[in-house]
Amino acid sequence: MKLQMHRSSKKDRNRMPSQEPGTSAPSLLPARLLIALLLAWPIGLAITAAVPSLLPASHADGLFVAQVEAVLIMPLAILFLCGSSTLSRGLLATLAAFLATFPLAFMFLAFGSP
Amino acid sequence: MNTARAVTSGLSLRTRMGWLHAWVGFVCGLLLLCIFITGTLAVFDTEITRWMQPEFTGGSLARPSDAALARASALVSEQEAQHHRVSVTLPSARDPVLRVVQPEGMDVITTAIDPVTGEVLNLRKTVGGTLFFRFHYTLRMGRMFGVVLVEALGIGLLVTLGSGLVIHLRALVPNLVMFRPNGASPRAWMDAHVIAAVLFLPFTFMVAWTGVVIHADRIFPFTAETRQEGGGGPPGRGQHGHHRDALPIPALGPILDDATQLFGEGGTGFLQFSPRSVSVMRSDASTLPQTRDRAEYDRRTGKRLKVTRQRSGPAQTRQVMTGLHMAHWAPTPMRWLYFLSGIAGSVMFGTGLVMFLLKRRRTATSRHFLALVLAEGLTLGTVIGLPVACAAVLWANRLVPASLTDRMTTESACLFLVWGICVVHALARALQKHVLHGWREQAALLAVLLCLLPALDIATRWQWLGQQKQWDYLGVDAATLMLGLMVLRGCVFLGRSIKREAVK
Amino acid sequence: MSMFAIVLAESSLLWGVGLACHGALQPAWLRRQTVQPAISLQQWMKRLRVFLPLLALILAVALAGGEGLVAWIASAGPAGVLVALALSATARKHA
């Protein structure tokens, strides 16, 4: 399916989102939001479970790094899942964000704990 | 399925984000506004407590005398015998007395001791600024459920901020300082909303993120277990236990002197007691990172057992994040900036809620009437009702007799009672389709309560006026007067709107 | 006056002037003015809206370190609100 994005004109810049066409019929968005809400917490939980075991720091420090990441990824996941044109793309973007938390842990592995 | 996919993919990113922003913003916004308002007040919690104890006249920043420490020890032992958790805060620039602090349900009972003479100060029992502070992160729903709910709302705030950024991305820089109060109806609200959101975005993002991270243990439960196993959690947690077998408290003077040598002059914050040891914690006000460094002393001999300092990278990051959120380090001008930023955050939520309703009011059908009434009533009851209730607590503090036994319960009950009345009034006005009148009535009440508060302060404090430092009282009075005048201006604006509607 | 208060004052002032330059350069505001600033002045304002907040940042960090950085970020909001109110008042006057 082709991505159908409305290109906003310059006049559109100051327009309120509520004045945009299509706002009145976002029929699948509540379902998307529900899926996002159901997925957000497990994603955070997975990060806090996986990241600390990768870090060469104490468990408390590793958990803190994981929590900081999880708290950022959880809202991002909701935004990706609700903002993407199709659900599969949203899931893919969320997976990418989830995996992106690990390079930080790898960086930590490379440089060692301070 | 394909048709269904087409329905969502046909919408632009801005539209999808607009929907998310509106609904998550509205549902979470009602409670987030409460969290922001009480958090804003909690920036000055100590000063509000001082204002709520008008009998206070003395205080000293000097090291507490041995007599004062002995009195504190006696009070601590007394409380420990009754199996109460108890700690002692040391005099600081913001609160120059020795306080024995005992958590009691959702409130905190404190006994103030003159740090020079060691006399227990005869101050009225009050919930003080602690009421707003605890409400801010628990919503008075307990330390488990309440904190988890606030955490979830914090995530909601981050979602709302993210979606808001996407919606306004194009106009973000050009409209940075654009305010058109005379524009058409939603324009002025929109400008106010965008200014409050964008200019204070770093602050709002910071408080949301750090706020959720501070209590992240609550939403990742097994994390809390492993933390306790590893012993890397915030110091002081889980150490209290039962005090049935507590050893007698040693002389606190030498302990305090030793801790002062470790942490520097003015670097000691408070004392914690466990059955086998006494810990002196570093003051949160001494540096931006809230380190919670502690020196532990043997309760039998008074000798230092160990000093705990967490200096790893993640630990320091955690300390900075906690310090940034709590603002205990902040000097007075910075506190005022936090206060103003908190007000801006509240304005952002308030204008956002109003815009949500403005749009729905136009398109609502009779099928949605009850839902709209509920939304209108809850919005009014939150945006104006909660500030009215907070102001009522300050009024109750001065009007309820100082000797009343259940003062603290009365004060906190006053908050919820007045708030409840405001919500009922708002719902009734919304049901009558006169919600604008409801806004004006509650705003007028708020303006009166705030503008007359300085007069009430002087009228009920005059007998101690000459012996007190005036800054704290002046700060609270000036802030309430300014806010009262702003609300009064809003009242006039609302009056004009009602007249315009009547002409139509 | 403490160093922190000085940092707050200079940050607020420089943010204020920088944001005022930014606001006064916006077409929506310029349209409502009877007298337009000269092109050379507009060029200067364009430079100042970038340079002044940066100068404020450098001064804040140099004078108060990490706390100065917090003060710099926090002072932008109130300064911006004051500028927005001032610009809206002048726009109304000239309208």
**pLDDT value of position B30:** 95
Task: Give the up-direction half-sphere exposure of residue B354: CA atoms within 13 A in the CB hemisphere.
Answer: 21
C neighbour chains, 3+ CB pairs within 8 Å: B
Asked if residue B225 has pLDDT above 70, the reply is no
Instruction: Using a pLDDT cut of 90, give the percent of chain A over it.
Output: 43
ipTM of the complex: 0.91
For residue B110, give the 3-state DSSP assignment.
strand
In a domain, B443, yes or no: yes
Closest CA–CA distance from residue B177 to any residue of chain A (Å): 14
Same domain (yes/no): B320, B265: no
Give how far C76 is from chain B: nearest CA, Å.
7
Q: Are residues B384 and B475 in the same domain?
A: yes
Lowest mean pLDDT of B211-215, B360-364, B434-438, B485-489, name the range: B360-364
Distance from CA of C26 to the nearest CA of B (A): 6
pLDDT in tens, B2-21: 554 545 556 788 899 999 99
In a domain, B82, yes or no: yes
By residue range, what is the domain housing residue B502?
A: 364-504
Q: Which alpha helices (DSSP H) does B238-368 contain, by range?
A: 252-263, 313-326, 332-363
Average confidence score pLDDT of chain C = 88
Average pLDDT of chain A, as a whole number: 77
Q: Are residues B399 and B250 in the same domain?
A: no
Do B260 and B315 lie in one domain? The reply is: no
Over the stretch B357-369, which tens digit does the pLDDT of each residue have?
Answer: 988 888 777 778 8
Whether chain B has a CB inside 8 Å of the CB on C2: the answer is yes
Question: Model confidence at B240, in pLDDT bands (50, 70, 90)?
Answer: very low
The pLDDT score that the predictor gives to residue B237 is 42
Q: How far apart are CA B459 and CA B466, in angstroms?
A: 13
Give the closest of B177, B182, B334 to C4, CB-based.
B334
B452-463 pLDDT, tens digit per residue, is 999 999 999 988
- CA–centroid distance for B215 within its chain: 15
Here the tokens at position B381 are 């009851």
Asked if residue B412 and residue B483 are part of one domain, the reply reads yes
A108 has pLDDT over 90: no
Lowest mean pLDDT of B58-67, B188-197, B248-257, name the range: B58-67
Neighbours of B387 (CB within 10 A): 25
Identify whether B354 is part of a domain: no
Q: Between A21, A68, A87, which is nearest B213 by CB?
A: A68
DSSP bridge pairs for C95? none
What's the gap between Cα A57 and its chain centre? 26
Q: How many CB atoms lie within 10 A of CB A81?
A: 24
Q: Decide if B343 is inside a domain.
A: no
Q: DSSP states of B356-406 as a string?
A: HHHHHHHH--GGGHHHHHHHHHHHHHHHTHHHHHHHHHHHHHHHS-TT-TT
Tell whether B341 is covered by a domain. no
> For chain A, which residues make up each domain, given as ranges?
28-111
Looking at the structure, tell me whether residues B193 and B247 fall in a common domain.
no
Furthest CA-CA distance within chain C: 44
Integer Cα distance of B330 and B203 in angstroms: 14
Instruction: Determine which of A47-56, B301-310, B316-325 has the lowest per-residue pLDDT on average.
Output: A47-56
On whether the CB atoms of residues B362 and A21 are closer than 8 A, the answer is no
- pLDDT tens per residue across span B468-500: 888 889 999 999 999 999 999 999 988 888 888
Number of domains in chain B: 3
Q: Which of B18, B213, B226 is opposite residue A17, by nearest beta carbon?
A: B18
Cross-chain residue pair B202–C2, CB shorter than 8 Å = no
pLDDT, tens only, B373-396: 999 999 999 999 999 999 999 999
pLDDT at position B459 is 95
Q: What is the pLDDT of residues B328-342, one digit of tens each?
A: 999 999 999 999 999
Q: B281 and B235 in contact (C-beta within 8 Å)? A: yes
Strand ranges, E, within B177-315? 268-273, 277-282, 294-298, 304-308
Pick among B11, B214, B357, B358 to test the A interface (most A CBs inside 10 A): B11
On whether both B292 and B255 belong to a single domain, the answer is yes
What average pLDDT score do residues B412-416 get?
Answer: 95
Q: What angle do CA B147, B149, B150 make, to 5 degrees?
A: 65
Residues 6+ apart with CB under 8 A from B355: A16, A18, B186, B189, B190, B193
Q: Residues A19, A20, A26, A29: is their CA dihedral positive or negative? A: negative
Report the pLDDT value the prediction gives residue B213, as an integer from 0 to 100.
Answer: 95
Is 60 exceeded by the pLDDT of residue A18?
no
Whether A19 has a pLDDT exceeding 50, the answer reads no
**What per-residue confidence (pLDDT) applies to B230?**
43
Name the B residues in 306-345 with CB < 8 Å from any C CB: 320, 324, 329, 331, 333-334, 337-338, 340-341, 344
B402 with B434, same domain: the answer is yes
Is the separation of the CB atoms in B436 and B498 below 8 Å? yes
B146-163 confidence digits (pLDDT tens): 999 999 999 999 999 999
The reported pLDDT for the residue numbered C15 is 96
CB contacts of B182 in chain C (<8 Å) are 92, 95
Pair (B145, B104) in one structural domain:
no
Asked whether residue B381 falls in the same domain as residue B474, the answer is yes
**Integer Rg of chain B from CA:** 25
- Asked if A88 has any chain B CB less than 8 Å from its own CB, the reply is no
Structure-block tokens of residue A52? 């600390």
Residue B116 lies in a domain: yes
**Contacts of residue B212, Cβ cutoff 8 Å, sequence gap at least 6:** A71, B151, B154, B155, B158, B219
Stretch B275-295: mean pLDDT, rounded?
92
pLDDT digits (tens, 9 = 90+) for B113-140: 999 999 999 999 999 999 999 999 999 9
Residue B250 and residue B142 share a domain? no
pLDDT in tens, A37-94: 999 999 999 999 888 888 877 888 888 889 999 999 999 999 999 999 889 999 999 9
- Give yes or no: residues B90 and B196 share one domain: no
